[in-house]
Amino acid sequence: MKKLFPVFIFIIALISNCDFFSPRPSGGGSNPTGFRQPTQPTILIENLVYTLNNGDIEGYMKCFDERTFKYVIDIKDTLDTTVEKVYFRNWNISVEDTVIQKLFRYYYQGSRIKGSYPAFTIILYATTTEDYIDSSVWYIDYRILVDSLPLIDSLANIEIRGKCNITMELRETYWYISSWQDFHSYEETYDWSQLKALFRRTDF
């Protein structure tokens, strides 16, 4: 069943979980404030946003089904010369774990005041969902605000934009992300895949 999601209500719900202007703690806690058991797809997406906006690697990885997870990259990204093609290949749960750990170390550890934006903030705009008994697909526009990019010191206060399809599946009583398909939808900006690929090729 396809339905239009109440976009603005959902955005407010996500933003309420993070403070745009105050320093946020680096993650790692086993029971992070704001992370709830994902008994519904909505809670799973809220957990995803919360863990990204608070640098919680343990909570972030709990959002994914480690047995089936796959990350699908837009073919347009492999044509970009900013990041070599090899860094987009074979993206499984192990690669996701490694890349996000690097990303969190870069944005959340140490004293880093490089721009007027918070170090890292992601906002998801859910446009449409397809809901079934044991699966749900969300079609999402996203914005990511970062104060800087690794390896590109000349840029500061960057807005990263794109679209993605997130597929979630019910495993017994909890929901997990089984697939994330990213789309390079805005030619003038980086997308999530390109940002993560920068961290895949870099040591932090």
Each residue's pLDDT tens digit, 144-197: 999 888 777 666 788 999 999 999 999 999 999 999 999 988 887 889 998 998
pLDDT at 158: 87
Please check whether residue 40 lies inside any domain of the structure: yes
Please check whether residue 120 lies inside any domain of the structure: yes
Confidence band for 9, pLDDT divided at 50, 70 and 90? very low
Under 8 Å between Cβ of 144 and 16: no
For 69, the domain range is 2-18+33-200
Alpha helices in 55-153 (DSSP H): 57-61, 75-78, 93-108
Kindly report the pTM of this predicted structure: 0.79
CATH classification of the domain holding 190: 3.10.450.50
Under 8 Å between Cβ of 49 and 14: yes
Please check whether residue 24 lies inside any domain of the structure: no
Q: Are strands 70-72 and 2-4 parallel, antiparallel or unpaired?
A: unpaired
| Dist CA 76 CA 193 (whole Å) | 11
Please check whether residue 23 lies inside any domain of the structure: no
Please check whether residue 28 lies inside any domain of the structure: no
Please check whether residue 27 lies inside any domain of the structure: no
CB neighbours of residue 68 within 10 Å: 14
Structural domains counted in the chain: 1
Residue carrying the six token digits 């000349």 = 154
Can you spell out the DSSP letters for 146-161?
EEEETTEEEEEEEEEE
pLDDT at 4: 41
Amino acid at 24: R
Please check whether residue 25 lies inside any domain of the structure: no
Please check whether residue 26 lies inside any domain of the structure: no
